[in-house]
Amino acid sequence: MATLEIRDLHVTVEVENGTKEILKGVDLTVKQGETHAIMGPNGSGKSTLAYSIAGHPKYTITQGTVTLDGEDVLEMEVDERARAGMFLAMQYPVEVPGVSVSNFLRTSATAIRGEAPKLRTWVKEVKESMAALQMDPAFAERNVNEGFSGGEKKRHEILQMELLKPKIAILDETDSGLDVDALRVVSEGVNRIRETGEVGTLLITHYTRILRYIKPDFVHVFANGRIAESGGAELADKLENEGYEAYVKGGASA
């Protein structure tokens, strides 16, 4: 069973007036089949955690380790991490002009699977996933994320997650900017993938709303660059009622 282990992770980013430490010692273990929600106020470092694990060049790891089944993830290039089974559904997926969704998906699946998927089964696979996510088949011929609405971008991210079958998926604020209908469709997509038991999910969110659709096994409160508290699904209810205030103050005085 695949396991992602994050130990004492410290991450800095270059800002206008120097270097700023965003992550200040994150410890977290995510196993295949589990769903963890990471919740926290704006600026707490949630997205930095997601992008650092995926290998975005903007972030510098200054301390700590990230391993996937004992393999050092931080030593891998961005594409190697994806091929090792990591997936990041992005909050702001970028436009890639000139590359159609269908070409992108197939190139990506070929890279991840190590061989080109057989055309006939592949077409069927893509069609079914798109239908389940209520995506128009014409979508496949559009350029990646070009002119997509917020909801279309997020569906497209989950479509990729379903086709690429990662061992560990990080969903960075997949719920933000979605109306209730889109949130439901996207959540159902994530749940379908979770039900396979093949994926460990790290669900990063600002709001408790998505947790009504996707039930986490663990909830972690993220504040001031580290996990401030961990618990079960009930912790989300507490956050729903009380907000992040206690954690923000605690972080400031620490």
Partner 1 sequence: MAEAQNIPVGSTTAGQIAVAAESTVATRMSAPPSFDVADFPVPHGREEEWRFTPLERLRGLHDGTAVATGDGVKIDIDAPEGVVVETVGRDDARLGKAGAPVDRVAAQAYSAFEKAGVVTVPKETVLTEPIRIAVHGEGGVAYGHQVIELGAFAEAVVVIDHTGDAVLAANVDYILGDGAKLTVVSVQDWDDKAVHVGQHNALIGRDATFKSFVVTFGGDLVRLHPRVAYAGTGGEAELFGLYFTDAGQHQEHRLLVDHNVPHCKSNVVYKGALQGEQAHAVWIGDVLIEARAEGTDTYEMNRNLVLTDGARVDSVPNLEIETGEIVGAGHASATGRFDDEQLFYLMARGIPADEARRLVVRGFFAELVQQIEVDDIEQRLLVKIDEELEASV
Binding site for partner 1 (CB under 8 A): 54-57, 77-79, 81-83, 87-88, 90, 93-100, 103-104, 107-108, 111-112, 143, 146, 160, 164
Residue (34 or 157) nearer to partner 1, CB: 157
Measuring CA to CA, which residue among 75, 82, 74, 71 is closest to residue 170? 82
| CB contact set of 239 (below 8 Å; sequence gap of 6+) | 39, 208, 219, 221
> Rounded to an integer, what distance in angstroms lies between the CA atom of residue 72 and that of residue 101?
31
Runs of H (alpha helix) within the chain: 46-54, 78-84, 101-113, 119-132, 150-164, 180-195, 234-242, 245-253
Are the beta carbons of 96 and 145 closer than 8 angstroms?
Answer: yes
Residue 75's identity, in one-letter code, is E
CA distances 180 to 12, 47, 203, 213, Å, are 35, 23, 18, 11
Taking the complex as a whole, the smallest distance from the CB of residue 180 to partner 1 amounts, in Å, to 27
β-strand partners of 204: 38, 172
CA 41, 215, 36: angle at the middle one, nearest 5?
55
Select 159 or 185, whichever has its Cβ closest to partner 1.
159
Identify which of residues 39 and 90 has a Cβ nearer to partner 1 in the complex: 90
Nearest C-alpha neighbor of 26 from the set 3, 40, 9: 9
Q: In the complex with partner 1, which residue's Cβ is closer, 61 or 96?
A: 96
Smaller CB distance to partner 1: residue 112 or 235?
112
- Residue closer to partner 1 by CB (options 18, 98) is 98
- Please, what is the minimum distance in Å from the beta carbon of residue 247 to partner 1? 29
Least Å distance, CB 113 to partner 1, is: 9
Comparison of 54 and 236: residue with beta carbon closer to partner 1: 54
Closest CB 109 distance from partner 1, rounded Å: 8
Distance CA 112, CA 89 (A): 15
Strand residue runs (E) in 32-77:
35-39, 59-68, 71-72
